[in-house]
Amino acid sequence: MTSLTLIHAIISFGLFLKVFSAGMSRFETGELPSLGEKILGIFSTILFWPIVYPLSIWGGKTFLNIFFHGILGYIPLLLNSFIWALAIYWIIKKVKINRKKYNTDFFVIHDFNSK
């Protein structure tokens, strides 16, 4: 569970930094973002739900600066990543249970012509 949390946090933060740096590189030129930048921005926003993005939009910068200043700013990111890790873990567990229950394998190729 911890590894899923850390992987999600690293991917989320890395993707955010990539989008941010791409935006800053064209800041003075006034160029529009490319399709790739827009797609990465959407993925970054999705990965920051359900904690980080709403806190930054609805809570505002003042809320984040008061309660999560300095190194504490990583708490919402790690909590967000933990929620994602729980969801991923639950889905994997559910799929394994259903595979055992219904005796199915998603990756088996069936030959319907053989007798």
How far apart are the C-alpha atoms of 4 and 87, rounded to whole Å?
10
Q: Is residue 40, in this structure, part of any structural domain at all?
A: yes
Q: Is residue 114, in this structure, part of any structural domain at all?
A: no
Q: How many domains does the chain have?
A: 1
The whole-number pLDDT of residue 106 equals 58
Answer whether 80's CB lies under 8 Å from 51's CB.
yes
Q: Read off the tokens for 6.
A: 């850390």
Q: Is residue 107, in this structure, part of any structural domain at all?
A: no
Q: Is residue 19, in this structure, part of any structural domain at all?
A: yes
Q: Is residue 13, in this structure, part of any structural domain at all?
A: yes
Q: What is the mean pLDDT of each run of 10 residues along the chain (115 residues)?
A: 90 93 87 91 90 80 76 88 94 84 62 56
Answer whether 37's CB lies under 8 Å from 23's CB.
yes
pTM: 0.71
Q: Is residue 78, in this structure, part of any structural domain at all?
A: yes
How far apart are the C-alpha atoms of 81 and 10, rounded to whole Å?
9
The whole-number pLDDT of residue 59 equals 73
Domain housing 69: 2-102
The whole-number pLDDT of residue 2 equals 85
Q: Is residue 31, in this structure, part of any structural domain at all?
A: yes
Q: Report the 10 Å Cβ neighbour count for 47.
A: 20
Q: Is residue 81, in this structure, part of any structural domain at all?
A: yes
